[in-house]
Amino acid sequence: MISRRAFSAGLLACLGGCATHHESGPSSDLPDIGAGYRPDPKSDEAGLWLKLDKVEQNQRRSPGRIRDKPINDLVQDMVCRLAGAYCPDLRPYVIRVPAFNATCAPNGMISIWSGLLLRCHSESQLAAVLGHEIGHYLKRHSLQRLRNSRELDDFAAFFQFQLQGPAAGLIRGLSQDITQASKSMFSRDHEREADALGLALMADAGYAPAACADIWRHIKAEDAAGGESERFDFFLSTHPATTERIDNLDELARRRPPAARPAPDRLNAALGPLRRSFMADEINQGHFKRTDNLLTRLIGDGIDPGGALFYRGELYRRRNRDGDEAIALGNYHDACETADPPAEAFRGVGTIRWRRGETELAREYFRRYLRVAPNADDGDMIRKYLSGA
């Protein structure tokens, strides 16, 4: 039975009423988005944008948003360098989520997660990710995926009625698998396109194209350390295998001539003390091996070694297995000898030495702690240790 609602909608459409359905279009070979583009209010694209406008409204005021001026100024400037004429259409937000990700919504909202910033060693590496995301926006990939899914699901819905007989269940299952695989392949093609376009955008802006593959090498190493060797699934993976992406990005980077005017590297200055707060979030996640891999890499590459050593010490102290305290102590000591040690590293040495009965050594580090952080919340308690209590 055709529902009353469907019937009246059809009737109204026939009568030229206001209730006509939204206009759609092809799912592939769409023209690139133009600068200053707004979708036709009658289109499916407008519905997609409105949905994301509502998400953005929440994100703009979210307590999870990081509002520090230097990092927000930097990502805004980078988006403009990368996107050129599209700069006014793109709105980057820095969000406190301790995982490796960034997204670009079809309406131009870009979300950059804190866990991604922590994993970027240079502005070029961040530009690699932003370029990729801007690539998705320029190619209108979200709209293409929406339409592609609709086409496949609609077809499957009609196809199911043709099925009769004993093999119907098997064929229905098979058709669902094929639909799923098609969607995943479509998405993987978009990722490849965004990888290539992102590399071109960032290299054109003067960033080092080799950074694109580098960031994926970091992720691969973390995955391997965490025992999560890549599980590529032909049916389900929305992104190509990391190894394939690294190879392609390396190849594309090799073909680029050196930049005429290299872009600056302002990431570490812009992140400043934020990077340590991201490390604090990172060690709270309970991914011991991944986090250990990440912090060890930061220490090795000289990315805030004081902070990375201290938080590696924290990571081991909290796990507290046999031998972990000694490793924590070693990391705190190393952190104390860097150019910019966190005050807490001195306290870390002090408390472990005190527990071991090495009172004088402990007091020396407590004194150093109070010198660096005279107004620390726990200052009074630390002074008790010094007065011989």
Contacts to other proteins by CB under 8 A: 1-6, 8-10, 13, 18-19, 21-22, 39, 41-44, 46-51, 57-58, 60-63, 146, 149-150, 152-154, 156-158, 161
Taking phi first (over 0 means left), then psi (-120 to 50 degrees means alpha), and beta for anything else, what does residue 16 get? Answer: left
Neighbours of 208 (CB within 10 A): 22
SS3 category, 344: helix
For residue 90, give both structure tokens: 């793109």
- The residues, any chain, with a CB within 8 Å of residue 119's CB and separated by 6 or more, are 100, 125, 215, 218, 219, 294
Nearer Cβ to other proteins, position 108 or 313? 108
In the complex, the smallest distance separating the C-beta of residue 138 from other proteins, rounded to whole angstroms, is 21
State the minimum distance, in angstroms, from the CB of residue 278 to other proteins: 22
Closer CB to other proteins, residue 50 or residue 269? Answer: 50
Backbone angles phi, psi at 110, to 5 degrees: -110, 130
**Angstrom distance (rounded) from CA 311 to CA 61:** 30
Q: Which is nearer to other proteins, 3 or 387 (CB)?
A: 3
Which one, 2 or 339, has the nearer CB to other proteins?
2
Contact 293/225 with Cβ under 8 angstroms? yes
Residue 186 tokens read as: 């479509």
Q: Are 312 and 279 in contact, with CB atoms under 8 Å apart?
A: no
According to DSSP, residue 288 is labeled H
For residue 272, the minimal CB distance to other proteins (Å) is 23
Shortest Cβ 181–other proteins spacing (Å): 16
CA distance 342 to 349: 12
- Which of residues 85 and 167 has its CB atom nearest to other proteins in the complex? 167
Identity of the residue, 158 or 360, whose beta carbon is nearer to other proteins in the bound complex = 158
In the complex, minimum distance from the CB of residue 1 to other proteins, in angstroms, rounded to a whole number: 6
Residue type at 90?
L
We find the least distance from the C-beta atom of residue 154 to other proteins, in angstroms, to be 4
* Residue in this structure with the two tokens 């003067």, named with its chain if needed: 206
